Structure 1
Amino acid sequence: MRPKILLTNDDGVTSEGLWAAYEALTTFADVTVVAPSTQQSAVGRSISIFEPIRANKVQINGKEAYSVGGKPTDSVIIGLFALKINPDLVVSGVNIGENLSFESVMTSGTIGAALEAANHGVPAVAFSLQVEDQGDKFDDPKYITLDFEESKKAIIDICRKLLKNGFPESSDVINVNIPKTFLGKYEVTHLAEKLFETGVEKRLDPRGRPYFWINGPLYENAPKGTDVNSISKGNISITPITLDSTSYKGLNEIKEIFEI
């Protein structure tokens, strides 16, 4: 029997990256698309709890999908508990732009959707494609002109291996980042501390009142073995992530501080 996959993202249901993943996954699996109606980048794992969520069946590229008026996590919850898809795997992506380092894991809607699935006991993989121009992240993902061919190959290879062999013990999500120019190597990595050098630009509106843009260049000095370093070398970065954020190394120190 073909495995069942729930496919979602944070760029929205019309994104070229989502449908590139769909094209790859349907070569070996039955795929149901449940994705946000609109762009939801950088919402992390936030959930809509103060408003109702609408999920409408739509046709995109001649294929059926569910367009969810909410966050990526909402899409996963609707897929699992309202549509009762019962997938063997949840795939999130392909995201337009890399999701690397501590920063992205905490803020990415792509990874947030995968973490939500994992928290409900469903293994999940997040796929992201590096962009050369950071401005591409802010363009309409429906009309993006990136080349997804290497992404499709990686999706097929990685997902089939995970479905065949199972997830590694103590790993809840596999975070995969694909370089804009792939040099043919997979690299198992850990998260870098930073992706961007954080900066803030102050500007004045027409009335002379200040406002701010958070910005900053890409971080270029990540240590070897990190996801940021791997991508900079043209390798596909594969990073296992866990839901448990407990600092086990800090437990004894905390016990000493509070004399427990």
Structure 2
Amino acid sequence: MGDALEVLLTNDDGIDATGIRAVHDALTDIADVTVVAPSDDRSACGRSISHEVDVFEHELGYAVAGTPADCVVAGLTELAADPDLVVAGCNRGANLGEYVLGRSGTIGAAVEAAFFEVPAIATSMYVPIDETPLCETELTTDDYSNATRVTTFLVENALEADVFDHAGYLNVNVPIADGSAAPVQITRPSKRYAMDAERIGESIHLNDRIWETMDPAIIPDPEGTDRRAVAEGRISISPLTAPHSTLEHESLERLVTAYAESNAVDVVEAE
């Protein structure tokens, strides 16, 4: 391809998942793609890392017996030739809200790339579920057309548009395809959190109740959040940084000064 973009593609659903196949097939039209993905499902593992992993050749690239973060480290240092961009996904199921940022393996891969100072895009697809569990929902590559369309566009254009001058990675969430292209919105992660637990006999059952309120008519998340955008049928793009830090820390400065005064020590100013 000559001057084609070099893309490292990974996921957390496993290298044989439909979502990564859909993204791979779309990206190969515009980029040289190296797939380095978990050999099996490693969903919700965050940025878990291993000390040693086995690597196997696969028709798409490399299957790693490890986590998405393992795949990024192995890919960026050993298996992929200096990629311009890391893409994680497309994940089966959305990754919406602040509380999932440390939990999701898809996001974990993008964050790992950001620490390498390689721009990254994490793409996930919201799949409405009724009685059938998400893991048992049958999906085709056509269902991922919103994901492949927006991911391909971002891969082809985001670097030249200087998007990553201010963002370490993009968290992209899309609605499942319905035959037409979904509208798009720049968003921020929702702050809602709805985990709880109940004891049943000798077990504790953990419940994520946030998915019970994805009805667009009653969703409580405010305008501009990723969850509201996706629930209402829009593509959500949240520009994020790693690490998640703040420049507003006047209150902490006062507290540190008080600690220093009470213990007769100095406060060392940051350079």
SS of corresponding position for 1:66: strand
- Distance in structure 1 (CA, Å) of the matches to 2:163 and 2:246: 23
Describe how 1:98-109 pairs up with structure 2 within 5 A.
98-109=94-105
Amino acid at match of 1:214: L
Indicate the SS of the match to 1:90.
strand
In the alignment, which residue of structure 1 is the partner of 2:182? Answer: 184
Give distance in 1, aligned partners of 2:160 and 2:239.
17
Structure 2's unaligned 5+ residue stretches are 214-218, 258-266
Structure-1 residue corresponding to 2:263 = none
Code of the aligned partner of 1:238: I
Alignment of 1:217-228 (within 5 A): 217=209, 218=211, 219=213, 220-228=219-227
TM-score by length of 1: 0.88
Aligned to 1:245: 244
Identity of aligned residues (%): 34
Q: What is the CA-CA distance between 1:165 and the residue it aligns to?
A: 1.9
8 Å contact kept, 2:8–2:80 = no
* Larger Cα-atom Rg: 2
CA distance in 2, matches of 1:203, 1:189: 38
Between stretches 221-230 and 163-172, larger displacement belongs to: 163-172
Alignment correspondent of 1:35: 37
Q: Report how far residue 124 of structure 1 moved.
A: 0.4
Answering whether residue 113 of structure 2 is matched by residue 122 of structure 1, we say no
Offset at residue 150 of structure 1 (A) = 2.1
Give the superposition deviation at 1:112: 0.4
What is the CA deviation profile of residues 208-243 of structure 1, one whole-angstrom value per residue up to 9, with x for unaligned ones?
xx1122114324310100101111111100000101
Deviation per residue, 1:59-118 (Å, 9 max, x gap): 2xxxx3201011100001111112242111110000000001111112110010011111
Alignment of 1:82-97 (within 5 A): 82-97=78-93
User: How far did residue 170 of structure 1 move?
Assistant: 2.0
Q: CA deviation at 1:133?
A: 1.2
CA 1:154–1:53: 2 relative to 1, 3 Å: same
State whether residues 125 and 173 of structure 1, in contact with CA within 8 Å, keep that contact through their aligned partners in structure 2. Answer: yes
The alignment of Structure 1 onto Structure 2 pairs a total of residues equal to 245
**1:16 is matched with which residue: 15, 18, 30?**
18
Please state how far the C-alpha of 1:246 moved relative to its aligned partner. Answer: 2.3
Between 1 and 2, higher relative CO (CA 8 Å, sep ≥ 6) is seen in 1
Displacement after TM superposition at 1:144 (Å): 3.8
Q: CA deviation at 1:167?
A: 2.5
Residue pair 1:98, 1:129 contacting (<8 A) in 2 also = yes
Counterpart residue number, 1:207: none
Counterpart for residue 148 of structure 1: 144
Structure 1 gap segments, 5+ residues each: 205-209
Q: Is the 8 A contact 2:146 2:182 kept in 1?
A: no
TM-score scaled by length of structure 2? 0.84
